[in-house]
Every structure is written in structure tokens, then in C-alpha cells.
Amino acid sequence: MFYIYCPYCGEHREEEEFHPKGQAHIERPKEPEACSDEEWGNYLFFRDNPRGVHHEMWVHAVGCRKFFNVTRHTVSYEILETYKMGEQPSITADSQSQAREGAAVSQQEGVRA
Amino acid sequence: MSNAATFDTRTDTAIPVESPLAYSYRRSGAPQAGGPSRLQLRERAMLGHLILRGGAIVLDEAVRDVLGISLPGQPQALVQDASGERSIQWLSPDEWLVIVPGGEEFPLETKLREHLGSAHFAISDVSGGQTLVEISGEAARELLMKTVIYDVHPSHFPVGKGVTTVFGKATTIIRRPSEDRWELVIRRSFADYCYRWLLDAAAEYGVNVQQ
């Protein structure tokens, strides 16, 4: 059971009040007519399926009925952050792996000392 | 004044009207506790419900001039006028629920439309679509605790708060206008379900239904 922070309501709510709405940050091509079939097909049908950090769109269906974004870890299901539409995530797969590398380096240094 | 077509849903013609719970009263009755009652239920039928949508600043100005209440800007906030008869509740960053005594909603809508002029806004009269049920008595919170998924502890749900959440299986607005009184705003189509749920859940407390 998730306990999700709604950035619009400003508090944590039960998962029952929310619906997942798929991958976030998908931008519709500015000029659909100018798209190749492959570009249009990728936009319409193909979604990321990462193992690790994933950005998703959720809707607070029973509360304020606003859409917002959730950064979730697909292995641990941990919700790393939620943020409003139009905002950019502060936690990404890159920032997570950098943090992990940084931690690994400091551990090695610790071993040496 | 915008050119939106409006009409008063309350006419002078004598059309029989029924509250959303009229069928439920006939079907399930209105139980009266013989002895001591720890819970009172009362429907406040036929109130005027308006949904306001638009920018907070523009609406706030209009509502303060017309109703004399300022628009709650904080999430989950509920404000009332001095009499407690009129209230405005935050539903979403650009959506508010206004509840006024029955019959006042159309004049209010007209005045707000005049005041707002060509601003970007929407006002919908939803009086026919929902009703307000009042729960009071010492067992009110106990009843909510076993019914809703939201935390209704006083430290988390103080007076002057209202949330949209799940009641049983139905979407419901739960508000706390005063220390010992809770209000449910339920959809007309779910009214019978909610009423029967309330009666069933409240049976152990000795419920008194006032009609």
C-alpha cells in the first residue's frame, strides 16, 4: 500500500485515492504531419520500462483530481519524490547512480585509511 | 457580464421535489434510538451548492464583495460566515465548493457573474447533484474511523478542514465545521448507499435520524 504525497493537496493520502497514468514527460511532437512513421509510432506506443528509477504520471482521482508526477523505483517500489506538472524531477536515474558511485568511492577510501 | 446562459432551477411552478434521501427514508426508514443515543444523523436537504472554478485572486475578490467571506487559499480549508449558514471549501487549486441556504444559489451566481465580468472563470450549480448529511454526537468520530480511509483524529482533522476522500466505496466530501459536528457531502446517485452504510455502521451506537 502506497502512502502518496499529493503536491497540490500538500499532504500524504492513501493509494486508493490515486490512479497511475503511465510514463511522465512524454511530449507530443510539435508537428505531427512532419513526423516519420517511426517517430509517430514511438511517441504513440513505445514506453520506457526501466529497472530502477522511473518517472510516472499519477492522478489524485478522489482528491483534488489533479495530475502530478511521481519518481518511483521499479524494484523497491519506493516513491522517491512527487512533483507538480510542468516541473522537472530532482531525482533521476543519473543522479542516483552518481550518488551510488560517490558512496562506493568513499567506502574504498575508508578501507584504505 | 458574460454571455453564459443561466437559469434558476427553482421555479414558481409547484413541481414536487424530493431530497436525494427521500427514497431511502421510504425504503430504510429513519431509525430512532429508544434509549440513549450517541449519534445523530440529519440531512440538510435542498441547500444551494455552487462549484467555482478559476484563479484564486480574481474569485477571492468577487466572493468577498458578494458573500463577505474570503476564499480559502490553503488546501483542505473550509471557511464559514458568522451564522455558519454559508461556507466555502477548497477542493482543488482552482476549484471551490460554495454551500448557501436553499434559494440563495441563483441570485448568488448571478451576482458573481456580474462581478466577475469577462474574467476567466466557471460557476456551476450542482445543488441537484449532491446533498449534505450532518453527523453529530459523541460517536461521530468512531463511525468515521471505521468508514473512511482518511485520518480523522483531531490532531490531523481540526475544525475548519474539509477533504474529498473515500467513504465506504463512494467519493465523498467530509468536513468539520465545528468541534462536535461533521458534514458529509454525498452524490445524489450514492445517497442511498451512503445512508444505508451510515445506518448499518451507526446501529451499535443507537442512532437517531432527524428528518
Task: Give me the DSSP letters along B145-157.
Answer: HTTBSS---TTTS
> Using the 8-state DSSP alphabet, how is residue B204 labeled?
G
Chain A residue numbers touching B91 (CB-CB < 8 A):
64
Chain B residues with a Cβ under 8 Å from any Cβ in chain A: 75-76, 91-93, 95, 149-150, 163-166, 171
Cα(B77)–Cα(B160) distance, rounded to whole angstroms?
6
What is the phi/psi pair of residue A84, to 5°?
Answer: -70, 165
Asked if A8 has any chain B CB less than 8 Å from its own CB, the reply is yes
Candidates B75, B163, B165; nearest CB to A8:
B75
- Work out the minimum CA distance from B61 to partner chain A, whole angstroms: 22
Whether residue A8 and residue B163 make contact (CB cut-off 8 A), yes or no, is: no
Q: What is the rounded average pLDDT of the residues B118-138?
A: 95
pLDDT digits 0-9 by tens, B136-166: 999 999 999 999 999 999 999 999 999 999 9
Cα(B158)–Cα(B102) distance, rounded to whole angstroms?
27
Cβ pair A68, A84 in contact under 8 A: yes
Whether residue B75 and residue A11 make contact (CB cut-off 8 A), yes or no, is: yes
Residue with cell 431509525: B31
Report helix, strand or coil for B169. Answer: coil
Candidates B76, B93, B164; nearest CB to A62:
B164
Residues in Cβ contact with B18 at an 8 Å cutoff, skipping those fewer than 6 apart = none
Q: pTM, whole model, 2 decimals? A: 0.90
Q: Does residue A113 have a pLDDT over 60?
A: no
**β-bridge mates for residue A84, sequence order:** A68
Q: Output the DSSP codes for A8-72.
A: TTTEEEEGGG-EEEEES-PPPPS-GGG--HHHHHHHHH-----SSEEEEEEE-TTTT--EEEEEE
Cβ atoms < 10 Å from Cβ of A53: 20
Cα(B133)–Cα(B185) distance, rounded to whole angstroms?
6
Cα(A82)–Cα(A12) distance, rounded to whole angstroms?
11
Asked if A15 has any chain B CB less than 8 Å from its own CB, the reply is no
Cβ atoms < 10 Å from Cβ of A42: 13
Q: Does residue A112 have a pLDDT over 80?
A: no
Q: Please, what is the angle between helix B105-116 and helix B56-66, to 10°?
A: 130
Mutating which of A5, A6, A11 best tests the B interface, going by the most B Cβ atoms within 10 A? Answer: A11
Q: What is the rounded average pLDDT of the residues A54-78?
A: 96
pLDDT band at A85 (very low <50, low <70, confident <90, very high): very high
Whether residue A65 and residue B163 make contact (CB cut-off 8 A), yes or no, is: no
Cβ atoms < 10 Å from Cβ of A7: 20
* Domains of chain A with CATH codes: 3-112 (3.30.2270.10)
Q: What is the rounded average pLDDT of the residues A66-92?
A: 95
Whether residue A64 and residue B92 make contact (CB cut-off 8 A), yes or no, is: yes
Alpha helices in chain B, H assignment, sequence order = 22-28, 56-66, 105-116, 140-145, 191-202
pLDDT of residue A104: 64
Cα(A58)–Cα(B116) distance, rounded to whole angstroms?
33
Mutating which of B164, B166, B185 best tests the A interface, going by the most A Cβ atoms within 10 A? Answer: B164
pLDDT of residue A107: 55
pLDDT of residue B60: 96
Mutating which of B161, B163, B167, B187 best tests the A interface, going by the most A Cβ atoms within 10 A? Answer: B163
* Domains of chain B with CATH codes: 35-210 (3.30.1360.120)
Cα(A52)–Cα(B175) distance, rounded to whole angstroms?
40
Cα(B121)–Cα(B93) distance, rounded to whole angstroms?
13
Whether residue A8 and residue B166 make contact (CB cut-off 8 A), yes or no, is: no
What is the phi/psi pair of residue B26, to 5°?
Answer: -65, -40
Chains A, B: CB pairs < 8 Å:
38
